[in-house]
Structure 1
Amino acid sequence: MAGSFKVATQERNPQRAQMRLQRQKKGVVPFLGDFLTELQRLDSAIPDDLDGNTNKRSKEVRVLQEMQLLQVAAMNYRLRPLEKFVTYFTRMEQLSDKESYKLSCQLEPENP
C-alpha cells in the first residue's frame, strides 16, 4: 500500500494523523479503489481456514482502519470553490441524456 496509508494508521489520534499527512509534501489522497484492491489481494492471496485465519483477518481489519482514519481526517478539510470555476460551470450548456450518450460514443466508441 502507499506510504500515506501507513502514516495515517500509525497514529491513533485522527487529528494527529491528518497533521502528519499534511506534513508530507506528496499530497497523495488514496482512492477507494486502492483500499478495495488491497482487500481483494488479501482475499486472493491468503486462503480461508475452517478455524478462521487470524492473520488474514487482522490484515483486513488494518486496511479498514486505514480507511476509517483517512475518512475522519478528510472531514476536517474545508474546501471553497473557485469563483471563476463556479461561474464557468453554471454557464455551461446542459446536455440531455441522449446528447450526452451520443457525445460519449463519439469520444469512446462501443465495442462490437
Structure 2
Amino acid sequence: MNGPRDARARGEAVERLVANWLADRGLKAVAANQHAKGGELDLVMRDGETLVFIEVRHRADTRHGHPLETITATKQRRLVRAARFYLHRNRLSCPCRFDVVAVTGTSPELDIQWVVNAFDAY
C-alpha cells in the first residue's frame, strides 16, 4: 500500500536520518516537525550560536527533477513565515539561517546534499 500514511512514514524516516547525519557533522537537534502558521519546519537545529531551520527534501530518483528544484520562492516564503512564528512563539532572538538537505535514492543507497544558507529571509 502506498497511501499518504506510508509517504509520511518514509518522510519522517528520512528526516530522522538527516537529523542524525547533521548531528554527526556538529549540529545539535532542537526540534522536529514544528507546525507554524502556513507551514512546517522539518528540523530546527543549532550550529554554534546560530539557529538553523532545515528543509528536508527527498526523491527516490531524479526522473522528475532534483529535490533542490522543489524549493520555490513560494516555499521559501512559507518557511520564512514559519520560522518567524517559531522565533516569536519561543521568544528567541538569535542569528538564524535556512539550510536545505536534498536526499535522493532509496535506503541504503542514499545521496545526501546539504546546502548551507540556501536562501535568505527577505
Question: TM-score, normalised on structure 1?
Answer: 0.28
Q: Relative contact order: is structure 1 or structure 2 higher (C-alpha 8 Å, sep ≥ 6)? A: 1
Larger Rg: 1
